[in-house]
Structure 1
Amino acid sequence: MSEKGSNPYDINGQNFDANAYLQKLLKECNLRQIMDHEAEIVKDTQNLHSDMQTLVYENYNKFISATDTVRKMKTDFKKMEDEMDLLASNMDSITSFSEQISSTLQDTRQRISKLSGIHSLLKRLQFLFKLPTKLKLLMKERNYSQAVQDYMQAQRVLQQYGNMSSFQGIQEDCNIILIELKQKLRDQFKSNHATAKDLAESVDLLLQLGEPADKLCEEFLSCAEHRLGEQLVLLQDLSEQKDIIEFVDLGSSGFLSDLCLVVASYNDMFINKINMDESVCSGDFETTATARLNDFVVENMKRYFTIVQNRVDLEQDVGDTGVLVRALDRFYRRLQAMNTLCRDTDFAASGTDIVINAGRKQSKAHLQSLKMHFSDSLTRVRQALAAPKLISQEGDSSNNLSELLTSLVLTNVEKIKGILQDLLVFIQPDISFSLKTQFREVFCIESIRENLVVGFLNHITATARGFCDGQKGSDPKCPPTLLLLLSKMCLEFQNTSVHYLLTQTDEWFEISTHNALSTTLTAESEIHKNMQDSAQQLLNYYVRMQGLNISQMLRKSVETRDWLHTIEPRTVRAVMKRVVEDIAAVDTTVGVLFEEGSRTNHSSDSSRKTHSVSISRHQFRSNWSSYTPNHLESNIVTNLHKLFSERIEIFSTVEFSKNSILTGIIKISLKTFLECVRLKTFSKYGLQQIQVDAHYLQLYLWRFVADENLVHFLLDEILGSAVHRCLEPVLMEPSVVEIICERG
């Protein structure tokens, strides 16, 4: 303010310098701006002048009005002074007359006061004489409160003058009526139709009439117990007929409201009267009465909780989670209100247990729904796999298998997500019990994450393993392709779905892996391992099944043929063609779901025939010569070399690749072929037929395995065993074998 007042350029300031202001305008503004500024100053000056004139006129009018008012007040005060003098003289006259009247009526006043006392006494006596009749009339009208009030009003007089003969009759009549009145009050007290308000009124009147408070407490709670028991029976009868929300509202408006009224009435009538009237109760009455009330409330609330728990157990329809949560929220809020009335008990803890149990049962119901959905998915997949016509009509079985796998994984993942979203209503911010730490820990961690999500993932692995041989409840008619799909499904869950589901669960239900209960959480790595083991077990079982299916064909083809009387081979046996076709079909199916994998000792297709022929020719010659008598020593050396060579594991664990799976199937098939050959005796032509079959298998099976030397070795073992078991070991020329195989 000081800086603004000392500014010479401030036109409103005290130190304004007109010349300096004008010089500043001439320097900073052009002619147009100076003229506009001049017009603005002229306009402001005119407005200021007009305002000043208006102010002067207003002040002048006020001054004139004030002058008139002062002149008028002088006139009024003069009249008022005359009136006050007249009033003072009148008051003196009144005082004088009043003193004269008081002295004249003094004797009369004393007589009137005495008569008034006599009249009041007569009225009281009249009230006493009419009291029995009035009490009977009030009892007939059921106006017990007024009857007690009238009796209590006359009680002191009767107690003081009851020994007088004139009052003894009244005292006796009142005592008889009083006994009848107490009985009426007790009848009303024990009536089934009496409300809690009627009970409270009856108890209060009996206490006023001097009844023992201890006995009244017991009778009051006994009658209340009977009434509340009827409420609970009605509530239980209607539990299955009412909606869960209607059931909770019925219990709140009926049983809980009556219980609260009973507790409030009990406190007002008995416990709170201790501080007001020590004559009503003894010193230890407060403790005894409070303990008796607590036992009464706890016992009735236990029965109520049992009925509510049974009703909640019936409400396990997975489609009504929102309705159930709203009902539980109303139930829990009412229990919190009960805690404010019954401070010595915590019913909210029992309510939390019911809510937790409801959430646990709801998650179990959803888990059963998930299991049924997964079972239905498997059934649909089996039906699709059992309908090859549908696959052929679609024209692409590969796409069909991929769609089945995608459907099997995604539908179950989406089903889990939908159920989790449905269960999120339990922990909404507006739900009263959702803020309880105990509820969140048990419901979110135990019921949702562990029992529902992890439990369903474990159910998937258990169901998948149930299809494997040797497992309890395994299905012998299970299609082998289903085993492949389940194995790939377990891998898909291991790679992506398990982490996604656990992450979503932890995020939605605010589960922290660093809290106190983190030790109870199932580790993600453990679930991954279960999925991996299940996928491996399914794949191993698939390889075994497919190997045994092909082995069965080979075994029957060997066992049902008379190898001692067979004709000279002219073609490849049909069973060998069937074996190659089946393995090719398996290769196609496996290739849809698994990658090819690595190969070792793999020859190109263009050089395959020459390579195989040269190996076969050398092998045939060595086998032929090694079993002649002149080369017995060489045969022993060869067998010793095989004894210490690397052993081929037939039923070893396969890898998750197409080559490894086909290798396992072919190993089982060729091993079975080898064992069947060892049990037979062959003629020359029988040996040559085995030679043709082995060469045919060698031409086609090499492309399906990871290491083609394994096929060479097993086929060499088969041919060597046939030579061992042959009566006339004469092998066919390799060129003839090639022609037969190419023609076949």
Structure 2
Amino acid sequence: MAQPTTTPRRRRGSLLTSYYGGTTDASGAPAEASVDPLDDMNIDTDGFNAPKYVGSLLQYKSLEQLVGRGNSMVSEIKSLDSDMQMLVYENYSKFISATDTIQEMKERVDGMEGAMKALEDNFGYISRASEAVSSSFSARRGELERLNTVKKTLKKLQFLMDLPARLQDCIAEGELALAVRCHAKAVKIMAAAGKHAAGFDGIRSECEQIMARLSSSLHERLEDESLPPDALCETVWLLLRLGGREDSLLPTFLERRRKALTTAINAFTPAVGADAAADADAAADAAADAAEGDAAEAPEAGEGDGAGGRGEGLLPARAPTRSVTAEHTRQLGALVVPQLLELVAAWRDKFGGEGGGGEAEASRERKEGMLAECVGEVCGALLEAVRQLMSEEAVPSEELLEGCGELLDAIAPLHEELPAAKLQLRATRLAEGLARRSVEQQLARLGDRLSGAVEEMASPDPDGDAPSGSLHAELRAVGGTASLCVRDALSLVAPLLAPLCEQLRTRADGMALHLVQRLHAAVRCMLTKALAPRRAPRAVLLCAGCCLQMAAGGVADVPEALRQLLAPQGLAGAALGFDSAALTADFRAAADSLLQRFVEMQAQALSRHLSRRVQATDWLNCPPPNGVTPLVRTLVAELRAMQRVAASLFPSEPLKPMLPQGPFPPMTPLEQQLAVKLAASAGGGGGTASIQMDLQRIFARKVSFEAGGFDGGGKNARGREPTLGGMVGHVAKLTLKTLVEEVRCATFSKHGFQQMQVDAAMLRWVLPAAADGEPLLALLDEAFLSCQERSLECVPLEHTVLEAFCENERRSLLAAIH
């Protein structure tokens, strides 16, 4: 099927594109996306079917999409109308301009014919005059050339005859370079004379004596350590022209300059105030003069390499007022870099070598290597001085950034002159190292602040234990302080990453990764400080609460803060490198470990107190019981105090009251069996009851204060997360375990056994209300059985008597609370 002819619309577009410029395809049409001319759904083709297109939109598009498409078509129509008007205006403007140009060309062409005629006549006159001059001198050309040769020879002879006196005059007037050049010229003339030079032996001898005395005086001057740099360079150059050895003179020159510049760097003292401003102006003027002088001596050298702007590169005006660090860095660069540039220029001018050939090229390369080594050593001392200047603890990140910029700007012109020394690379590495060190210092201070917050929180409270509400507020305050410290540190460091990396021409993501790693280490400082050994249980509990706060949300806030501060610089992805999941798990594990430590410390303290009270009581001489002993009151009070303090870590868990709940418990099976046993013993048949009691007895091991209630992950023995009730129950179990062991070691009278029965009954009524009752009841039964075995006369109290004693104690507890 034949292709359709080009549409008028496309033809107009092609003409406009060819006239106004634009890319075209191989066929000459404007370069645009290929369009099927038979596509009836394309609005840019002749076969466009408007009803079908509108129907398709109504069928497949939502109302919101239809409104958007309508708005976009209105915008496209307005845009096309504007483009067409602009093309018309441009076409009209170019037409007027072309008319004016044609008129101007016509006026100029009218006057060109006369000028061309006059120029043709002038060229003809010049040609005829040249032919006349050539014909008049052709007969005597040979004679003139011979006489000119004789004249040159006589001038050379006259120069040789006057040479000794001229050398003396030059030396006397201080024109040593002129004397050396004259002597070198005379040597060439006498060498060219060959066998005829014997007549000049006297002149040669006298000149050699004069130059020998000059060489001796130059060597003496070279020994002067205070010789200025330009005089030192001139002296070495003169000695080389007088036949001195390069392998000794050139290293001596470089060593003298290196030593002088290194001494100046080590003795550098920053100027302050008006002195700094005056020095800056003087250095800028000197740099500008040096740049103008270099441009005058080598006008073509600066066209392609930017050498003409060296004065501006040495002392750039980075800011109206520089920071102290940046100003000191600028002063140090202004002290050393101009002298190094003068050294490079003088070395290449005086000792660079002339001529071509492989030997001359090898000599130039060797000398460039010597120069690069010397400049590299001096710049090494300069960079070390800058490093010491910027390594102070008090240098803010903004000043460090500005100081690094001053350093790179100072090194830049020297790097352009001597790229073989790799000075820019060394300066960049130094600046990058300083930047990394600044990040580490800022985040190390963050770690100290976080550790200090933990230490301050865990420090002993001079006012005693605070209520749980204030402890909970204190923990929340510590979490807020940690987040604030992290944001403060990141706000000082994060905004400088992109500008610093742009300045150093390094990858910003590498610096951002370093920031993330150091931030991770800083946050871990808080974890390390929280896990530090502490003697006070309250401090251990607060550290556990701090770890729980960080695990609950404090750690998750860190990557969010990173994203917010790094997003404006396009580095938000670096926040993904912060392993918040692992750090959260570490904080949670630390919290569980600290909670376990707190439980053990509480259990140890309460067990020691219980042991002392049991051992101090004379159970053989006890009076008849009249109520609960202080032992039970102390145990309940300590458990209630621990529960109240630990409740700050579990605000969502309801606080169970440490009070008797419900009616007084009935007799336990063991008490019932004991009553049966005693009755049977009175009747002579207690063997069966005794065997049953022994079978039901729980074997109690020696109490251990190692990790028994929680596993390695901080969970309790059933694999659940620690709870307030679990902590109270664990402390109570360890304490009752101690009670069992102490009962087994004591001996009880009738009244002592009854007193222990009253205390056990009260604990059986109180403890299950605040913790898991089964293990506690089992331990109380074991203590009751052990007391029975250690009793000399086992006569239990009636259950109603026990209930009366415990009811009185319950009322006392309620009165004490209210």
TM-score over 0.5 for the pair: yes
**1:334-375 deviation per Cα after TM superposition (whole angstroms, max 9, x unaligned):** 445444333334344433443343344334433442343234
Partner SS for 1:730:
coil
Structure 1 residues 632 and 310: CA distance shift in structure 2, 3 A: farther
Contact 1:595 1:658 in 2 (8 A): no
User: Shift in Å at residue 250 of structure 1?
Assistant: 4.4
Q: How does 1:322-721 map to 2 (within 5 A)?
A: 322-383=398-459, 385-388=461-464, 397-424=467-494, 426-429=496-499, 433-437=503-507, 441=510, 443-445=511-513, 447-450=514-517, 452-467=518-533, 475-476=534-535, 478=536, 480-505=537-562, 508=565, 523-595=579-651, 597=653, 608-610=661-663, 612-616=664-668, 619-626=670-677, 629=681, 630-642=685-697, 651-653=708-710, 654=716, 655-705=721-771, 707-721=772-786
Partner SS for 2:419:
coil
Corresponding residue of 2:354 = 273
Contact 2:460 2:539 in 1 (8 A): no
Contact 1:322 1:425 in 2 (8 A): no
User: Shift in Å at residue 188 of structure 1?
Assistant: 5.3
**For 2:369 and 2:146, how far apart are their aligned partners in 1?**
57
Q: How does 1:125-144 map to 2 (within 5 A)?
A: 128-144=160-176
**1:502-546 deviation per Cα after TM superposition (whole angstroms, max 9, x unaligned):** 34346645668799xx9xx67433222211111011000111111
Corresponding residue of 2:333 = 252
Contact 1:132 1:173 in 2 (8 A): yes
Corresponding residue of 1:321 = 397
**1:119-142 deviation per Cα after TM superposition (whole angstroms, max 9, x unaligned):** 998876665544433333332332
**For 2:375 and 2:459, how far apart are their aligned partners in 1?**
60
Contact 1:434 1:440 in 2 (8 A): no
Q: Which moved more, 1:361-370 or 1:544-553?
A: 361-370
Aligned letter for 1:708? Answer: G
Matched, 1:147 2:204: no
Structure 1 residues 343 and 190: CA distance shift in structure 2, 3 A: farther
**1:639-682 deviation per Cα after TM superposition (whole angstroms, max 9, x unaligned):** 43455999999831144322122112211222212221121111
Instruction: Decide which structure has the larger Cα Rg and report it.
Output: 1
Corresponding residue of 1:171 = 204
Q: Percent identity?
A: 20
Corresponding residue of 2:98 = none
Structure 1 residues 426 and 196: CA distance shift in structure 2, 3 A: farther
Structure 1 residues 256 and 639: CA distance shift in structure 2, 3 A: farther
**For 2:375 and 2:688, how far apart are their aligned partners in 1?**
102
Contact 2:702 2:741 in 1 (8 A): no
Contact 1:674 1:717 in 2 (8 A): yes
User: Shift in Å at residue 489 of structure 1?
Assistant: 1.3
Contact 2:622 2:749 in 1 (8 A): yes
**For 1:381 and 1:200, how far apart are their aligned partners in 2?**
69
Structure 1 residues 199 and 731: CA distance shift in structure 2, 3 A: same
Aligned letter for 1:211? Answer: G
**1:169-203 deviation per Cα after TM superposition (whole angstroms, max 9, x unaligned):** 43333222223334455555565444544444445
User: Shift in Å at residue 283 of structure 1?
Assistant: 6.6
Corresponding residue of 2:806 = 741
Corresponding residue of 1:69 = none
**For 1:266 and 1:486, how far apart are their aligned partners in 2?**
68
**For 2:675 and 2:367, how far apart are their aligned partners in 1?**
111
**1:55-97 deviation per Cα after TM superposition (whole angstroms, max 9, x unaligned):** xxxxxxxxxxxxxxxxxxxxxxxxxxxxxxxxx9xxxxxxxxx
Corresponding residue of 1:729 = 794
Structure 1 residues 156 and 220: CA distance shift in structure 2, 3 A: closer
Contact 2:442 2:493 in 1 (8 A): no
**For 1:712 and 1:484, how far apart are their aligned partners in 2?**
28
Contact 1:385 1:482 in 2 (8 A): no
**For 2:186 and 2:269, how far apart are their aligned partners in 1?**
53
Structure 1 residues 462 and 642: CA distance shift in structure 2, 3 A: farther
Contact 2:340 2:414 in 1 (8 A): no
Corresponding residue of 1:48 = none
Corresponding residue of 1:181 = 214
Contact 1:185 1:202 in 2 (8 A): yes
Q: What is the aligned residue count?
A: 614
User: Shift in Å at residue 454 of structure 1?
Assistant: 1.7
Contact 1:465 1:534 in 2 (8 A): yes
**For 1:641 and 1:699, how far apart are their aligned partners in 2?**
22
Aligned letter for 2:393? Answer: Q
Corresponding residue of 2:288 = none
Unaligned runs of 5+ in 2: 1-124, 126-131, 273-323, 711-715, 810-818
User: Shift in Å at residue 689 of structure 1?
Assistant: 0.9
**For 1:553 and 1:404, how far apart are their aligned partners in 2?**
30
**1:393-427 deviation per Cα after TM superposition (whole angstroms, max 9, x unaligned):** xxxx3342123212322223322222222223652
Contact 1:564 1:686 in 2 (8 A): yes
Matched, 1:226 2:256: yes
TM-score scaled by structure 1? 0.71
Partner SS for 1:344:
helix
Q: Which moved more, 1:652-661 or 1:267-276?
A: 267-276
Unaligned runs of 5+ in 1: 1-87, 89-97, 392-396, 468-474
Q: Which moved more, 1:224-233 or 1:145-154?
A: 145-154
Structure 1 residues 345 and 156: CA distance shift in structure 2, 3 A: closer
**For 2:222 and 2:657, how far apart are their aligned partners in 1?**
105
**For 1:632 and 1:315, how far apart are their aligned partners in 2?**
87
Q: How does 1:71-86 map to 2 (within 5 A)?
A: none
Contact 2:622 2:752 in 1 (8 A): yes
Aligned letter for 1:730? Answer: V
Contact 1:547 1:665 in 2 (8 A): yes
Corresponding residue of 2:56 = none
Contact 1:228 1:258 in 2 (8 A): no
TM-score scaled by structure 2? 0.65
Corresponding residue of 1:81 = none
* Match of residue 246, structure 2, among 216, 222, 226: 216
Structure 1 residues 206 and 431: CA distance shift in structure 2, 3 A: farther
Matched, 1:289 2:367: yes
Corresponding residue of 2:76 = none
Q: Which moved more, 1:662-671 or 1:412-421?
A: 412-421
Cα RMSD of the aligned pairs, angstroms, is: 4.6
**For 2:441 and 2:464, how far apart are their aligned partners in 1?**
36
**For 2:228 and 2:368, how far apart are their aligned partners in 1?**
22
Corresponding residue of 1:235 = 265
Contact 2:607 2:734 in 1 (8 A): yes
**For 2:703 and 2:614, how far apart are their aligned partners in 1?**
23
Q: How does 1:38-57 map to 2 (within 5 A)?
A: none
**For 1:603 and 1:382, how far apart are their aligned partners in 2?**
27
**For 1:604 and 1:288, how far apart are their aligned partners in 2?**
92
**For 1:201 and 1:698, how far apart are their aligned partners in 2?**
107
